[in-house]
Chain A
Amino acid sequence: MPEKKVLLSLRGLHKTFDTQEAVAGIDLEVYEGEFITLLGPSGCGKTTTLRIIAGLEMPSSGSVFLDGKDITRLAPEKREVNTVFQNYALFPHMNVYKNIAYGLTLRGVDKNIIKQKVDEMLDLTQLKGYEKRMPSQLSGGQRQRVAIARSLILSPKLLLLDEPLGALDLQLRRQMQQELKQMQRTLGITFIYITHDQEEAITMSDRIALMRAGRFVQLDTPRGLYEQPRTAFAASFIGETNLLTATAQAAKDDEVLLDIAGFTLPCTCTDWVTPGEKLLLSLRAERLHLSKTPVPVPCCRVTGELVHTQYAGGERLSVVSLPDGQTLRVRTSTETDQDLAPGATVYCWWNQESGVLVRDDREEA
C-alpha cells in the first residue's frame, strides 16, 4: 500500500466567540482522496471548524495547512477549497447555468471552455435540461446538485460539505448519499463532510471524527467507532447502547473480571485496572440475546426480570431489569421470536467481545 499523502492538516485549532469556546484544540490530518466526516450534536463546533478550513472564519489560535502550505490567513477566494453550504446558498438571481459557471466566470475562463465544463457538470449531476431554471424553480434535491456542481466545476483539492442533505426528506437523502459517495470515488476529490446523523456518517465515511464541545472525542473508522467506542458519549451517540456500572474485581493479562449487579462477568481490557475501581461497560442493544431457559451457557450472562417487551416489525425491543435496578435494552430479531411476557425471569447473554469498557464522560460537556 502506497504511503498516504496528507492533504490538509489542522494544528492546535482554537476558536473563541466572545467568551464561548467553539473549537477547543483540534488536530487533524486529512489524507488525499479521503472521505472524512465531522460528526456531532449541534453546537459541537463542527461547522466552525469547517468555516475555518474554508477561510470564512479566522481561528483564535492554531493553523491550517493545505498541501504543506500554511493557509491560515489566506482569504477564502484564494484557497483551493470549496464549500457546499447547508442551505445551498444558490444565487437566486442567476439561473442554474450561471450559478454553476460563476467560479469560472470570475477566473476569466474562455466562454467555450466554460460551456464545455458546465455541460460536464450538468451530466455528472444529472441536471441536463435545467440550465435555464432559476433556483426557485428547483426541488430541494436539484438545488443540492447545483450547489455541488457549482463547487466541483472548480476542481478543488478539498470539498467541504456542511450538512448538505439536512433539508431533504429521508428517501431523497438515502439516494443522494449514494450519489455523493459515488461522485467522490470517481472524481477522487477529498471530502470533509459534516453531519449530525450518525447513520449517514457511518455509511459514507472512510473516517469519522466524533466531536463534542469543540473537541474530538474519537477519530476512527466507522467500524472502529461502532465496535470500539472509547467513551460513554461515543458509545451512546452512535447506535443504541446500554451503559452498565461495573466494579472491577480482578485483572489478568488483557482481561478483567467485572461485578455487575452481583454477576461476575469477564471483559476484554487492555488498560491498567485496579480491583475495586468503578468502570462503565457498553453493551449494544442489538448484540444482546434473550432466552427463557438458561441455555446456552456462555461466559457473559445475567438474569433479570423482563419489564417490557414490544414487537416492532423486524425486531423486538425488550427491557430487562437487573437485580440492582439497572436496566438493559435488548433488540432481538423477530425471526426467532419467543413467547415472552413481562414479569418473566429471563436470561440475557452476549459474546465477550461485544462488551466494551468505556471512559465515563457523561458529566463532561
Chain B
Amino acid sequence: MKKKNSPWANVYLALILILLYLPILVVVLFSFNSNPGRTANFQFEGFSLQWYEALFNPASGYGGPLMTSVTIAVWSVLLSAILGTLGAIGLVRRPVKKSILGRAGNAALSLGEQVAVLPIMIPELILGIALMALFTLMKLPFGMITLVLSHVVFCVPYIFITVRGRLSSLDPGLEEAARDLGATPLKVLTTITLPLAMPAVVSGCLLAFAMSMDDFVISFFVNGPQTNTLPLKIYSSVKVGVPPHVNALCTLMLAAVFMIVGLSQLWQARTQKRLKRDEKQAARARAMSAN
C-alpha cells in the first residue's frame, strides 16, 4: 500500500522537529548575542562573536577538558573495538557441544555475553556507582585509567552488537569456501572474516566514540581530581551559573556533528548510487547472457 502521508502527517512531523530543534536553535542564537551583561542569556541584542573569542581565550579552560575527552574516547574505542570484535567473532556461531564440559562452557559464555551487553540496558547511574566502588576496592587511583576502563565497559556492547549482527548475516559458506580453497583457520580470519566485518566495526566504533565523548554520568563517578572531561566541564559551568560562552562551545560542537553526519550521508548517497549502477550492470549482463 505505502500510501502517501496526508498533509496533516507532514504538519505533525514538522511540529515535532521544531520542538526537537527549539532548544538547539536558542543555544545557537544566543551564542551570537552581543549583549555582554548579566542578561546575555535572556535578551538578544545583536550579532557579535564575543563569546567565541571568550571561548578560545585559554582562560576559559575548555581546551584541557576537550583534549582529555578526545584522549579517553580514542583509547576506549580502540580497546573496545578489539574486545568487542573478538567477542562477536567468538560468539556469533556456537557449535553445539555434547560433552558436559562443552555444554557448561557454552552456558558460561552465554552468561558472559549477557553480562557484556548489560551496560546498555541498566541505568548509567548504577554502573557509575558500581565501578566507583570497585575501583575503590581495587585501590586504583581515580583518573585517566579509571575513566578509560569505565568507558570501555559501555563502549563494548555497541561494537559487539553491531559486529555480531553483521557477522550473523554473512553466509557461513564464505568461511567454508576459504577453508576449502586452502586457507588455515587463521588465514580465514584475516582474509575473510575481518575484512567483511570491517564496515560494522567502523560504524560500531563511531557510535562508541560519540557515546564516550558524550558520557557524563559514568565519568562523573569515576573521574579523578586531575581529570576533567568536556561533559563534566560543561556540567559544572551550567550548574554554577550560565556563562554565555557555553553557547558558543555548543554551537561549534553542533556544527561539527552536522558536518560529520552530512559527510557520511553524502558518502552513503554515493555508495547507494554506485550500488544502483552495479545492479543495472548486473541486469544488463543477465540480459546479455540470456541471449
Question: What residues of chain A have their CB less than 8 Å away from a CB belonging to chain B?
Answer: 18, 54-56, 75-77, 81-83, 85-87, 89, 91-93, 102-103, 106-107, 133-134, 136-142, 150-151, 154, 169, 171-172
Does A151 lie within 8 Å of B290, measured CB to CB?
A: no
Question: What residues of chain B have their CB less than 8 Å away from a CB belonging to chain A?
Answer: 96, 171, 173-174, 176-184, 187, 191-192, 195-196, 275, 278-279, 281-282, 285-286, 288-290
Q: Are A92 and B180 CB-contacts (below 8 A) given A134-B278, A136-B278?
A: no
Closest 9 pairs (CB-CB, A-B): A89-B177, A139-B286, A89-B173, A103-B181, A139-B285, A76-B179, A137-B278, A77-B182, A83-B180
Q: Are A172 and B179 CB-contacts (below 8 A) given A89-B174, A138-B285?
A: no
Does B195 lie within 8 Å of A93, measured CB to CB?
A: yes
Select one of B174, B179, B286 contacting A75, CB under 8 A. B179
Select one of A56, A92, A133, A142 contacting B196, CB under 8 A. A92
If A75-B184, A172-B290 are given as contacts, then 18 extra A-B residue pairs at C-beta distance below 8 Å, sorted by A number, are A18-B96, A55-B179, A56-B179, A76-B179, A77-B182, A81-B180, A85-B173, A93-B195, A102-B178, A106-B182, A107-B182, A136-B275, A136-B278, A136-B279, A139-B288, A140-B286, A142-B285, A151-B181
Residues of B within 8 A of A102 (CB): 178, 181, 183, 191
Chain B interface secondary structure, helix, strand, loop or mixed? helix
Residues of B within 8 A of A172 (CB): 289-290
Residues of B within 8 A of A54 (CB): 180
Does A77 lie within 8 Å of B282, measured CB to CB?
A: no
Nearest CB in chain A: distance from B218 CB, A? 36
Q: In the complex, what distance in Å separates the CA atom of A321 from the CA atom of B203?
A: 69
Residues of A within 8 A of B174 (CB): 89, 91-92
Q: In the complex, what distance in Å separates the CA atom of A358 from the CA atom of B278?
A: 54
Does A138 lie within 8 Å of B195, measured CB to CB?
A: no
Residues of A within 8 A of B192 (CB): 91
Q: In the complex, what distance in Å separates the CA atom of A91 from the CA atom of B177?
A: 9
Nearest CB in chain B: distance from A221 CB, A? 29
Select one of A81, A87, A134 contacting B171, CB under 8 A. A87
Residues of B within 8 A of A138 (CB): 282, 285
Q: Are A142 and B180 CB-contacts (below 8 A) given A89-B173, A106-B187?
A: no
Does B285 lie within 8 Å of A82, measured CB to CB?
A: no
Q: In the complex, what distance in Å separates the CA atom of A85 from the CA atom of B180?
A: 10
Residues of B within 8 A of A77 (CB): 179-184
Residues of B within 8 A of A142 (CB): 285, 289
Nearest CB in chain B: distance from A320 CB, A? 41
Select one of B171, B191, B282 contacting A139, CB under 8 A. B282
Nearest CB in chain B: distance from A22 CB, A? 14
Does B183 lie within 8 Å of A139, measured CB to CB?
A: no
Residues of B within 8 A of A87 (CB): 171, 173
Does A89 lie within 8 Å of B171, measured CB to CB?
A: yes
Nearest CB in chain B: distance from A161 CB, A? 12
Nearest CB in chain A: distance from B165 CB, A? 16
Q: In the complex, what distance in Å separates the CA atom of A210 from the CA atom of B290?
A: 31
Does A106 lie within 8 Å of B183, measured CB to CB?
A: yes
Closest to A93 in B: B195
Does A82 lie within 8 Å of B180, measured CB to CB?
A: yes
Nearest CB in chain A: distance from B275 CB, A? 8
Q: In the complex, what distance in Å separates the CA atom of A142 from the CA atom of B285?
A: 8
Residues of B within 8 A of A154 (CB): 181-182
Does B196 lie within 8 Å of A139, measured CB to CB?
A: no
Nearest CB in chain A: distance from B199 CB, A? 9
Select one of B171, B173, B279, B289 contacting A141, CB under 8 A. B289
Closest to A80 in B: B182
Residues of A within 8 A of B289 (CB): 139, 141-142, 172
Closest to A77 in B: B182
Nearest CB in chain A: distance from B88 CB, A? 17
Does A89 lie within 8 Å of B176, measured CB to CB?
A: yes
Closest to B172 in A: A89
Residues of A within 8 A of B187 (CB): 106
- 30 interchain pairs (CB within 8 A)? A55-B180, A76-B176, A76-B180, A77-B181, A77-B182, A77-B183, A77-B184, A82-B181, A83-B176, A83-B180, A85-B176, A89-B176, A91-B174, A91-B192, A92-B196, A93-B195, A102-B183, A106-B181, A133-B281, A134-B278, A136-B279, A139-B285, A139-B286, A142-B285, A142-B289, A150-B181, A151-B180, A154-B182, A171-B290, A172-B289
Residues of A within 8 A of B171 (CB): 87, 89
Nearest CB in chain A: distance from B80 CB, A? 23
Residues of A within 8 A of B275 (CB): 136
Closest to B170 in A: A92
Closest to B280 in A: A137
Residues of B within 8 A of A55 (CB): 179-180
Residue among A138, A139, A172 facing the most chain B CB atoms (10 A cut-off)? A139
Residues of B within 8 A of A86 (CB): 173
Closest to B287 in A: A139
Does A56 lie within 8 Å of B182, measured CB to CB?
A: no
Residues of A within 8 A of B285 (CB): 137-139, 142
Residues of B within 8 A of A107 (CB): 182
Q: In the complex, what distance in Å separates the CA atom of A137 from the CA atom of B284?
A: 10
Does B181 lie within 8 Å of A137, measured CB to CB?
A: no
Q: In the complex, what distance in Å separates the CA atom of A93 from the CA atom of B286?
A: 21
Nearest CB in chain B: distance from A19 CB, A? 11
Residue among B96, B173, B195, B196 facing the most chain A CB atoms (10 A cut-off)? B173
Residues of B within 8 A of A136 (CB): 275, 278-279, 282
Closest to A57 in B: B176
Residues of A within 8 A of B290 (CB): 169, 171-172
Nearest CB in chain A: distance from B108 CB, A? 22
